[in-house]
Copies of this chain bind each other. A is one copy, B any other.
Amino acid sequence: MNTLSYALLAFLAREQSSGYNLMLRLQPFWPAKHSQIYPLLSHMESEELLTSCWVVQCEKPDKKLYSITEKGIRKLKEWLYVPLADPITRDELSMKTFCMWLTDLDNAIDIIESRRVHLVKKLEHLHLKISDKVREDLEFGTPEFFDYMLYQKAIYTTTSGLDWTNMMLDILKEQRTKQNLK
């Protein structure tokens, strides 16, 4: 059982869902392609952690709805007592910043600016999402409460990333002004 399997259990513990929908909802937390998810789901079904049934839809293709079993819920609860693994982040921007001394100021600014744009969009999206959540007044211990806290987590990291790019851009642009004066 890898983390992705537990991620699937985690979503299915809340409500039954199709592989396609799981793939979409998983992206912010544990990015995975459908080609990874579909075989995993059928494997988990063979392990009796899940059950499935086909649902016919009108104006949309048929879908296979997965539900979590008692055994699946037990597995998921056990996992919550397994020591937490460290997070893994791989960011090309760190490596590009590391060799930024090899390129020109304009390119350096373009690189950081492209990340800034990405983070601004992400933050806007998160603020939209969280404003939906606040209305349903949050009761501690409900799934929605933890959804809200996860949006906060994403907002914290995105904001700190944005702060860094803004600091970098200030320094780089100031430097460009100095250069142009010469």
Q: Which residues of A contact B (CB under 8 A)?
A: 3, 6-7, 9-11, 13, 29-31, 73, 76-77, 79-81, 83-103, 107, 111, 114-115, 118, 140-143, 145-147, 149-150, 152-153, 156-157, 159-161, 163-164, 167-168, 171, 175
Interface contact B150-A97, CB-CB below 8 Å: yes
Interface contact A146-B111, CB-CB below 8 Å: no
Interface of A is mostly: helix
Interface contact B140-A171, CB-CB below 8 Å: yes
Q: Which 8 A-B pairs have the closest CB atoms?
A: A160-B160, A87-B91, A10-B99, A156-B160, A89-B89, A80-B103, A29-B94, A156-B164
A30 and B95 in contact, given A80-B111, A167-B152 (Cβ under 8 angstroms): yes
**How many Å from the CB of A90 to the closest CB on chain B?**
5
Interface contact B95-A10, CB-CB below 8 Å: yes
A99 to B74, CA, bound (A): 12
Interface contact B84-A31, CB-CB below 8 Å: no
Interface contact A114-B83, CB-CB below 8 Å: yes
* Cβ 8 A contact of A84, one of B79, B101, B114, B156: B114
Interface contact A156-B146, CB-CB below 8 Å: no
Interface contact A92-B3, CB-CB below 8 Å: yes
Closest chain B residue to A172, Cβ basis: B140
Q: 14 pairs across A/B with beta carbons < 8 Å?
A: A10-B99, A13-B99, A13-B102, A30-B90, A31-B90, A76-B99, A84-B96, A84-B111, A85-B92, A86-B118, A100-B146, A140-B175, A156-B160, A160-B160
